[in-house]
């Protein structure tokens, strides 16, 4: 607020973080609007990723690729050894 660069977050970054945070709040409202009345539905809100835009989040954390796999069309045999 006083124009100084105190703290370790540059003003530009902070502004971007605030914009991402505001977008997160809007997103939480939308996601939570689908909650059912049985209280078991997922709840969405502020966490350690709220300062990231979805594109940033995806670029950092969602980097796994899937492979085309054969459909499992046989019954899984339950072994007797090591069975819980």
In the complex, the residues that contact other proteins under the rule CB under 8 A are 24, 27-28, 31, 34-35, 38-45, 47-50, 52, 54, 57-58, 60-67, 69-72, 75-79, 82-84
Coil, strand or helix at 12: helix
DSSP structure class, residue 28: H
Q: What's the min distance (Å) between Cβ of 13 and other proteins?
A: 15
Residues 7, 40: contact at Cβ < 8 Å? Answer: no
- Taking the C-alpha atoms of residue 84 and residue 14, their distance in angstroms, rounded to an integer, is 51
Q: Which is nearer to other proteins, 1 or 43 (CB)?
A: 43
Q: What's the min distance (Å) between Cβ of 63 and other proteins?
A: 3
**Owner of token pair 């594109």:** 55
Q: Which is nearer to other proteins, 1 or 75 (CB)?
A: 75
């Amino acid at each position: 607020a006083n124009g100084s660069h105190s703290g370790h977050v540059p003003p530009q970054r902070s502004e971007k973080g605030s914009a991402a945070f505001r977008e997160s709040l809007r997103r939480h409202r939308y996601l939570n609007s689908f909650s059912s009345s049985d209280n078991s539905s997922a709840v969405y809100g502020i966490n350690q990723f709220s300062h990231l835009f979805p594109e940033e989040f995806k670029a950092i954390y969602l980097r796994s690729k899937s492979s085309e796999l054969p459909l499992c069309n046989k019954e899984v045999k339950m072994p007797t050894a090591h069975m819980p």
